[in-house]
Amino acid sequence: MTPSAPAATAREILADGKGILAADESTGTMTKRLEAVGVESTEQTRRRFRELMFRTPDIERWLGGVILYDETIRQSTDDGVAMAEHLARRGIVPGIKVDGGAKPLALAPQEDEKVTEGLDGLRERFAEYRDLGARFAKWRAVIEVGDDIPSTAALEANAHAMARYAALAQEAGLTPIVEPEAIMDGTHSIDRSARVTEDMLRALFVQLAHQRVELEGLLVKTNMVVSGYRGQTQAGPDEVAERTVTVLRRTVPAAVAGVVFLSGGQTDEQATANLDAISRVDELPWTVSFSYARALQGEAMRIWAGKENNVGDAQDAFHRRTRLTAAANRGELAAAPSGS
């Protein structure tokens, strides 16, 4: 049977062990990151840094897709080529973030609970983004972790929104990435991380079934099961891999095209070491890969610091980190040379 367009695109993105660069930070998030390295955040500086990454030599060997922000997909490179077209010419599939961000969940007993908005007008926006060159999309849900949260209401509200988004994406011929992220910036144990991640993913797939989403044309982007970053006890890569895979096997159907991990608040080294350990687990039923933002581009941004004469060194740093992450995705991090 011929695969649908969303299924074919999902396979293309993750073919040959490739992963995804998440270059879809909102203007607010990019402003914080640029200002942290002494760069004023303007449309031009944001474009310059992203173009720096997109022009780095050889990244098409390790990146199958790039998630763009609304501002970026409407921009062009210095030589006048649309950003999405530039990526496509390199054999990298362009995608687009479409959610409207996490907002407070109405009537929630805990003020930290959020729900992601942005469904209004999404069918029309998908048509526009498709015309701009996007072939896949992403929607993120923020699930806060605490003693009494997440509530069932928060899990179900976010799962329902993600499922409706995914159905609309597939209707438009685009591959949806659903990104439920249990926030690990806390003192909680890895047991608590596992419980919340399992509940979160279980709720998601109930709603995806209700909305008749084709699993073969779906990518799941989610957190690894790690200890809360501020906890006294921190699990090592082997335990992270075992706990993460256990949760995924309990909740994610084998028909799903792929599972891609976010880096969250992990350091570059933690994100690659944990991915490497997960990739070495035998007989995974899905393709496993990465969809990193800061863990791929953080060092490059620090080196660049807005200075044109630093572009080459920044690209070398981005090249190195992307290559090492791809090696981790094959379970071959130990054998990968660490130099540029």
pLDDT in tens, 294-309: 999 999 999 999 999 9
pLDDT digits (tens, 9 = 90+) for 56-90: 999 999 999 999 999 999 999 999 999 999 999 99
- 5-333 carries CATH number 3.20.20.70: yes
Among 117, 138, 119, 21, residue whose Cα is nearest residue 70: 138
Among 222, 126, 109, 223, residue whose Cα is nearest residue 165: 126
- For residue 209, what pLDDT band results from cuts at 50, 70 and 90? very high
pLDDT at 335 over 80: no
pLDDT at position 233 = 87
Catalytic option among 18, 97, 114, 221: 221
- For residue 226, what pLDDT band results from cuts at 50, 70 and 90? very high
Structural tokens at position 121: 């007008």
Give the residue extent of every domain in the chain: 5-333
Structural tokens at position 310: 């630093």
Report d(CA 200, CA 182) in Å as an integer. Answer: 8
Predicted structure pTM score: 0.96
pLDDT at 141 over 80: yes
| Between 99 and 233, residue with greater pLDDT | 99
pLDDT digits (tens, 9 = 90+) for 149-175: 999 999 999 999 999 999 999 999 999
Burial class (CB in 10 A: 0-12, 13-18, 19+), 178: buried
pLDDT at position 262 = 96
**Is 32 designated active site?**
no
